[in-house]
Amino acid sequence: MARIFSSRKRMTDLKIQPAGILRYESSPGSLRALVEKCGGLKGLGAGDRTFIKPNLVALDESFPIPLYGVVTTTRLVHDMVLLLKEHGVESITIGEGSVYGRNFGVPTAEVFEALGYGELAKRYGVRLLDLHREPFSREDFGDYTLEISEPALSADVLINMPVLKTHNQAVVSLGLKNLKGCLSMKSRKACHAADGGLDGYLARFVEKLTPDLTVIDGIYGLEKGPFYTGTAVRMNALIASTDPLSADLVGAAAAGFDPGAIPHLRLCAGRRARSTDPEPVLRPGDDIDSVRKPLKWDNTWRADDTGPRAWDRLGVQGIRLPKYDATLCTGCSGLYSPILVLIMAAYRGEPFNEIEILTGKAARPSGEANKTLLVGNCMIKANRHAPGIRETVLVKGCPPGLDDVTDALRSCGIEADESGLMAFRRNLAERYKGKPGFDETFYKV
Ligand code: SF4
């Protein structure tokens, strides 16, 4: 299985391989059985340099907000390390570039520490890499280039371990999407370009960074993901394949989606003239229904796009917050939930004064608002001089700070108060306590 960077196989060379399913029951037995039935570590040599890419998207600074379904369970990553050790593998690297910005997240090293990875390093000599601090290689996709982490590209064996979750922009975040965490921040932002082509990028990372094994961790799935504002569901689903697309097709079906209706999966399949039907790529005897649990995708918005339907329950009026689109990159998306919560907490039953809040790169003013907040440098650039705006309120930054957003809301007469946000976070921190099936030891070693 040993390869060197220059000869590493590419997705375009891959034959279709089946995906296996197993219900999680114990550690490390369940993962071992699944990997064996998929031939997932076949040919692995003790001298191979292995690289595990979990999904450790971000940790809020107000952790311990539970991360069920948001990040890969530490337990399953620990199991994978044990399997590699059983194969005599010496060189094990776990790499991630967690989101860490002005409003959101902590450095990757702190994410590793909070989730018990320090113990994996201590016990098994695993090397932990913050990919933001490692070199990137500019990879040519023909019509564009992206900076991809060199340690991930140059590993002999790449093991992708996403979590089974929904994603507000990508519909699902499985193996193909998880590879985005191996991009530089600059390239991640480029994937959210104004043309809205995020799905096209998600479909193609795998052409340069082709996992040898994908294991989808569905011990917990996440509805209305990708962050902890979503709702976790205990599923006990494990899905694995040496073929990244097969794994994702089955993973999407396990979450109750038609994989052919998920744009980045459809595009990835289309580029290699493959079907998106998960049934033909299932291992004989495996059954998606044995783990299937339909997950709700996303919050729905009012028909006139003035805000989430949840605002109807409170009767929120006089404000327009169009639904985020694919051009909103992670930095600004970390502000989105706080904005929603601040507005709800500030609503006192009287309509706001026709305020409009625009985010991302593609939204356009309605021409009907008294004040238009342009959130983030991208939105300012796109609309600063747009016709139809009566008064602009600029919220500068890439991304802006939460304080700037709060000040801007106040300047529009919305009494935004961070205590409402803190109460919301406290609720999130408590909500799984005592619920059967929710066990914090899955995120410890
Ligand atoms: S302003 Fe916001 S959307 Fe634009 S690049 Fe910066 S973080 Fe992304």
- Across the 445 residues of the chain, what is the mean pLDDT of every consecutive 10-residue run? 46 82 98 97 95 94 86 98 97 96 87 97 98 98 96 97 97 98 96 92 96 98 95 98 98 98 98 97 97 95 95 96 94 90 94 97 96 97 95 96 95 92 90 96 97
The finding on whether 374 has its CB within 6 A of some atom of ligand 1 is no
Model-level pTM?
Answer: 0.95
The finding on whether 154 has its CB within 6 A of some atom of ligand 1 is no
Tokens linked to 232: 């976790």
The finding on whether 395 has its CB within 6 A of some atom of ligand 1 is no
Provide the CA 332 distance to its chain's centre, in angstroms. Answer: 14
Ligand 1, residues 99, 100, 169, 189: which to mutate, most atoms within 8 A of Cβ? 189
- Three-class HEC string of the chain: CCCCHHHCCCHHHCCCCCEEEEECCCCCHHHHHHHHHHCCCCCCCCCCEEEEEECCCCCCCCCCCCCCCCCCCHHHHHHHHHHHHHCCCCEEEEEECCCCCCCCCCCHHHHHHHCCHHHHHHHHCCEEEEHHHCCEEEEECCCCEEEEEHHHHHCCEEEEECEEEEECCCEEECHHHHHHHHECHHHHHHCCCCCCCHHHHHCCHHHCCCCCEEEEEEEEEEECCCCCCCEEEEEEEEEEECCHHHHHHHHHHHCCCCHHHCHHHHHHHHHCCCCCCCHHHECCCCCHHHCCCCCCCCCCECCCCCCECHHHHHCCCCEECCCCCCCCCHHHHHHHHHHHHHHHHHCCCCCCCCEEEECCCCCCCCCCCCEEEEECHHHHHHHCCCCCCCCEEEECCCCCCHHHHHHHHHHCCCCCCHHHHHHHHHHHHHCCCCCCCCCHHHHCC
**Are 183 and 149 contacting, i.e. CB atoms less than 8 angstroms apart?**
yes
Ligand 1 atom index nearest CA of 398 = 6
Tokens linked to 414: 């919305």
Burial of 375 (0-12, 13-18, 19+ CB in 10 A): buried
Ligand 1 atom index nearest CA of 378 = 4
The finding on whether 328 has its CB within 6 A of some atom of ligand 1 is yes
The finding on whether 378 has its CB within 6 A of some atom of ligand 1 is yes
**Are 319 and 372 contacting, i.e. CB atoms less than 8 angstroms apart?**
no
| CA distance linking residue 140 with residue 163, whole number of Å | 28
**Are 94 and 129 contacting, i.e. CB atoms less than 8 angstroms apart?**
yes
The finding on whether 399 has its CB within 6 A of some atom of ligand 1 is yes
Q: Are strands 157-161 and 213-223 parallel, antiparallel or unpaired?
A: parallel
pLDDT at 1: 45
pLDDT at 372: 98
The finding on whether 190 has its CB within 6 A of some atom of ligand 1 is no
| CA distance linking residue 188 with residue 193, whole number of Å | 10
| CA distance linking residue 374 with residue 394, whole number of Å | 5
Ligand 1 atom index nearest CA of 101 = 7
Cα of 380 vs centre of ligand 1, distance in Å, is 10
The finding on whether 252 has its CB within 6 A of some atom of ligand 1 is no
Cα of 67 vs centre of ligand 1, distance in Å, is 25
**Are 374 and 364 contacting, i.e. CB atoms less than 8 angstroms apart?**
no
Ligand 1 atom index nearest CA of 329 = 8
Cα of 210 vs centre of ligand 1, distance in Å, is 28
* Among candidate residues 250, 270, 269, 246, the one with its CA nearest the CA of residue 258: 250
The finding on whether 332 has its CB within 6 A of some atom of ligand 1 is yes
pLDDT at 101: 80
The finding on whether 376 has its CB within 6 A of some atom of ligand 1 is yes
| CA distance linking residue 45 with residue 334, whole number of Å | 41
The finding on whether 326 has its CB within 6 A of some atom of ligand 1 is no
The finding on whether 97 has its CB within 6 A of some atom of ligand 1 is no
